[in-house]
Copies of this chain bind each other. A is one copy, B any other.
Amino acid sequence: MSADPSSRRGIPDATVARLPEYLRALTGFAERGITSVSSEELAAAAGVRSAKLRKDLSHLGSYGVRGVGYEVDHLAYQISRELGLTQDWPVAIVGMGNLGHALAAYSGFATRGFRVVALLDQDCDLIGQEIAGLPVRPMSALADLVAARGLAIGVIATPAASAQDVCDALVDAGVRSILNFAPCVLAVPDGVDVRKVDLSTELQILAFHEQRKALARGSVLVDGSLRRVASE
């Protein structure tokens, strides 16, 4: 009953999260004309250990050749297929402020299986303007986009205060995958996936380790600030 590969059900989340990086590394090899790689080489390019890479790939099937390695094109195709990138996914960006502008102008979407089909905003002054070749449309266009264009993924680039409203509108329209740039948690019904990209969180994690390193190096914390301690 189940399709092609074997009897693989459920690829671990941790593995799925790394597949895009493997795909990117493979694309890099392909561009340099390399047609075959070992798990060791590919792992190095993707920044992981080879054992981890091999176990990850084993979840999608057995696409390597023992004693030789992996054929670059074939493996790239298999990963693409697993990730659902053999088709284009229609994406809408909501919130055409600073970040929305940058996202709209970003060429990295198209090259990786995504197509921005609409830019949305609430602001009357923005609606109708063209950004990166697309007109800004009102939120009321959402339902139609889902029905007519197969819109599947929504990107939220509005302030945090509006993010939940925008999210609700997307879900109501039938969007089931959301990428959220606003620094807040979104409540969604079952069956809807949300992923968050959060700049401040990343910086704060860096700050934690930076402080750690400074303290290990011998600095001291005075009044909440690091002070370099005289040494050597």
Contacts and interface: CB of A to CB of B under 8 A. Distances in A.
A54 interface: no
Contacts of A35: none
A202 B179 contact: yes
Interface string A66-110: 000000000000000111111101010000001101110110110
A153 interface: yes
Nearest to A152: B210
A206 interface: yes
- Range of interface residues on chain A? 35 or more
Most buried by B among A91, A114, A205: A205
A87 to B, nearest CB: 4
A98 B82 CA distance: 31
Given A98-B106, A101-B98, A206 B195 contact: yes
